[in-house]
Amino acid sequence: MANAMITGWGKCMPEAVLSNHDLEQIVDTSDEWITTRTGIKERRISHAEVSDMSAVAGAHALAAAGKTAADLDLIIVGTCTGDSLIPSTASLVQAKLEAWQAGAFDVNAACSGFIYSLVIGSNMIAAGTHRTVLVIGAEKLHYHLDFTNRATAVLFGDGAGAVVLEATDEDVGLLASELGMDGSAASILCIPEHGTSGDRRNPDPRESGINMDGPEVFRRAVTTMGDASVRVLEKAGISLDDIGLLIPHQANVRIIDATARRLKLDPAKVMINIESYGNTSAATIPVALTEALESHRIEPGAIIVLAAFGAGLSWGAAVIRWGQRVEPLGTSAAALPPNNRSTMDLLAPNLEFFGHLASS
Ligand code: UT7
């Protein structure tokens, strides 16, 4: 049975920055509140689509793996904010990369989408049906943000990250995983009115932004991410002392700290970049993984724990043994098309839409 080794990694973070101070101009909030309650200082706003960011991150991951798009036999995109309902974002990514030999599909597990996708890709390699899989986590969450609602407007951002999985006989890759769900609590984090449950005769577009009971999601995330991480480590037969790096979903630095405490981890073994990007849902883990490699925080053969929690309510945890190579084999010049609009300009359609609804 083949193992699935991560051989390439990459990210695509759009240039436009929305700082906490910028948000103070839009909604009743403060840099102090956002920083102390969440750890976020700024986030990115994309002028391009999820498939564009995905393709750029994917091209960087392929270059790091020393592969081309022609080598891919599968593309999985974890996203809950894809370009359209159909086709899937993965199909658009396949075309943008010209990965004509690859099957492609999306996975919607919200913030747990990358872990779900990584586990699916790894298990398809283990099953022998696929050998080279591109796994992407990508979101354009700002599209769904009501910037008149301070409870959610300050939390989310846009971006994409990707990894290449390759079949290998080496004892590396996914050692154990858990994919969990509590659908009975789905309504505490949702975007209503974007599917067939919407009432066309009596639409209530005021509810179309992200709805979240923050404190309840917080409470559940704190216990679930830590407990699931402990369970996957036990399943893999790995002790807490052997963890090289925890790469958690970046939703709130207080949730990350609680997860690290549950694993009795030294803060030096926890990857945190939430201050720069906020919560990019399925993108947080592959982006943080890429930045961990860029900053030389992953040692050859390291044990890495991934944990996430999000809408569904979904969660995922995984233990990975890294391979020997921690440097990319190559680089790519792939980039988003140039953006000549200011951040406020990019937010204008959104402010107009939700502002109009608030005053109607
Ligand atoms: O990706 C997975 C899904 N998401 C998450 O995991 C997020 C989980 N939840 C959280 O991270 C936190 O619950 C939040 C960051 C969303 C909120 O933090 P909190 O400490 O739970 O605050 P709260 O909602 O209990 O609100 C406390 C106070 C309230 O004021 P009062 O009633 O005490 O006067 C809020 O109105 O903070 C107020 N508040 C704000 N003030 C300034 C809420 N949002 C803001 C804001 N700026 N943006």
pLDDT tens, position by position, 117-129: 999 999 999 999 9
Model confidence at 360: pLDDT above 60: no
Tokens 């049975």 correspond to 1
Cα–Cα dist 244/282, whole Å: 22
Share of the chain above pLDDT 70, in %: 97
CA 167 to ligand 1 centroid distance, Å: 43
**Catalytic residue among 111, 142, 252, 350, which?**
111
| Pair of tokens at residue 265 | 């981890």
| Pair of tokens at residue 227 | 């407990």
What is the distance in angstroms between the CA of the first residue and the CA of the last residue of the chain?
Answer: 60
pLDDT tens, position by position, 243-262: 999 999 999 999 999 999 99
Q: Where are the beta strands (DSSP E) in 289-333?
A: 303-310, 314-321
pLDDT value of position 354? 81
Please give the mean pLDDT across all residues of the chain: 95
Share of the chain above pLDDT 90, in %: 90
Average pLDDT over residues 138-164: 95
Q: What are the φ and ψ backbone dihedral angles of 45, each rounded to 5 degrees?
A: -120, 120
Q: What are the φ and ψ backbone dihedral angles of 185, each rounded to 5 degrees?
A: -110, 20
Which ligand 1 atom is nearest residue 38's CA? 15
47 is catalytic: no
**Ligand 1 and 254: CB distance under 6 A:** no
For residue 241, give the amino acid letter. D
pLDDT tens, position by position, 327-338: 999 999 999 999
What is the domain partition of the chain in residue ranges? 3-171, 175-321
pLDDT value of position 205? 59
Cα–Cα dist 3/132, whole Å: 11
CB within 8 A of 48, min separation 6: which ones? Answer: 14, 336, 337, 339
3-state secondary structure (DSSP) of residue 281: helix
Q: How many CA atoms lie within 13 A of 91 on its CB side?
A: 6
Cα–Cα dist 188/330, whole Å: 43
111 is catalytic: yes
Model confidence at 356: pLDDT above 80: no
Fold category of 3-171 in CATH? Peroxisomal Thiolase; Chain A, domain 1 (3.40.47)
Model confidence at 113: pLDDT above 70: yes
Q: Where does the chain have alpha helices with state H?
A: 20-24, 31-38, 50-65, 89-97, 113-127, 150-153, 214-236, 253-262, 274-277, 284-294, 343-359
pLDDT value of position 359? 57
**Ligand 1 and 221: CB distance under 6 A:** yes
3-state secondary structure (DSSP) of residue 83: coil
340 is catalytic: no
Query: Do 3-171 and 175-321 agree at the fold level?
Result: yes
CA 40 to ligand 1 centroid distance, Å: 13
**Quick check: bond before 313 cis, omega within 30?**
yes
Q: Is the full-model pTM beyond 0.85?
A: yes
Cα–Cα dist 301/309, whole Å: 26
Distances (CA, A) of 106 to 68, 89, 101, 352: 21, 6, 17, 30
Cα dihedral 181/182/188/189 (nearest 10): 10
Fold category of 175-321 in CATH? Peroxisomal Thiolase; Chain A, domain 1 (3.40.47)
Burial class (CB in 10 A: 0-12, 13-18, 19+), 198: middle
pLDDT tens, position by position, 70-110: 999 999 999 999 999 999 999 999 999 999 999 999 999 99
* CA gyration radius, the chain: 19
Cα–Cα dist 143/274, whole Å: 19
> H helices then E strands: how many in the chain?
11, 13
Cα–Cα dist 65/7, whole Å: 5
For residue 339, give the amino acid letter. N
pLDDT band at 199 (very low <50, low <70, confident <90, very high): confident
Average pLDDT over residues 20-42: 97
Mutate to test the pocket of ligand 1, among 28, 35, 37, 211 (most ligand atoms within 8 A of CB): 37
Higher pLDDT, 350 or 40: 40
Model confidence at 38: pLDDT above 60: yes
**Host H or E run for residue 138:** strand 132-140
CA 222 to ligand 1 centroid distance, Å: 15
Average pLDDT over residues 33-37: 98
pLDDT band at 206 (very low <50, low <70, confident <90, very high): low
pLDDT band at 197 (very low <50, low <70, confident <90, very high): confident
